[in-house]
Every structure is written in C-alpha cells, then in structure tokens.
Structure 1
Amino acid sequence: MKVNFIRKPTPEELIPQDEFIVEKTIILEGDVFEGFIREPLNDYDFIKEHLELMYCDKEGIFHCLLVTSDKHDFGILVESEGYHYARYAAFIPLIKTKTEN
C-alpha cells in the first residue's frame, strides 16, 4: 500500500475536510488514466464535456467527476471550476461491494 506523507502536517491536511458528491463516473482506458494522473493539469475532453456537473454549492459541497479505469483500485475526484483540466483533485480509494466481486 502507498500513501502520501505530508511534511509538518496540519490537522486539516491529515484528516479530509471537504464533502463531495460524485455526479458522474468516467472510466478511462488504463493507459489514458495513467496519462491523466501523470499530467492532471493538461486539458481533457472528458472534463470539457462535463463542465456543468462540476461546481461547489452554497454549503461548500464539491460536485465532481470520479475519474478511474477498470485496471485501478483508486480514482481521482475532479472539480474543474469551469476549466478543462483538474483544477481541484483528490485521490480516493475505490471500495467494491460484495456484489461487485
């Protein structure tokens, strides 16, 4: 298992603070997803095509895309703030239910 260590962390950096709603899951080919996680600040059509689904509401809840692939056990939450790249992004592990096995 891998984690990101944070140097001199604050409590807010250690414990997730932002609430979110996944508006749509985007499943990419494995190599395309790998390219996305290497270059999240590039413009992507799959983000551009779903701009209306991504925003932060009055309660501060992020409405976002979940971007993943069939070959990975994690995803990236994306809220682009109207841009075509992952302006806000968060790693999230994917949990399978018993019926998904």
Structure 2
Amino acid sequence: MKRETEEETGYKVTEVRKIFEAYMSPGSVTEILHFFVAAYSKSMKVNEGGGLEHEQENIEVMEISIDRAMQMIDSGEIMDGKTIILLQYVKLHNLL
C-alpha cells in the first residue's frame, strides 16, 4: 500500500492502517476489496503522483475537503462505490 500510495498520489506515507475488507457485489463476484487509511502531510510529498506510465495508469490527483467530497457524492460527481465507502468511513470516524 505504501508503494501504491506513492506511485498514485505522490505522497510517501509511513503508517498505513487496514480498516476492513468488503465484497463489492456479493453473490456475483468473489473479489474481496481491502480498505486502508493513512495520515499524510505536505512534507511527505515526494513526486506528482498520477501512476506509472508503463502500467498505463493515468490518475488525476485531486485534493479536496471532506465537506466538498460529501457534496460531490450528493451531486453525483463521485459515483465510485469504493470512494464513497472510504469517504463515509472518514466522516463517521472523524478522521479529518
């Protein structure tokens, strides 16, 4: 997770915590997703992120407030289930 976080976001996190596992579509898919959280600060920024070109990753790194992210769920701008679950976890556990 630390390596993926650095590749995709540009932040070199030090302490990553697994929070839970979940099936995204039980009954039709057996894939289990593993959800993690980590604290970070601007001083941990080591590159621009965005993923690895040779893995054909093209990730747009965005940093927005939790309140704006929750508004984006309400407006339909954020529709990805994994993202919604993690944002709700952050909000429920007062991580920000």
- Same fold at TM > 0.5: no
TM-score (norm 1): 0.27
Write 1 or 2 for the structure with the bigger share of helix.
Answer: 2
Greater relative contact order (Cα < 8 A, sep 6+): 1
Write 1 or 2 for the structure with the bigger share of strand.
Answer: 1
TM-score (norm 2): 0.28
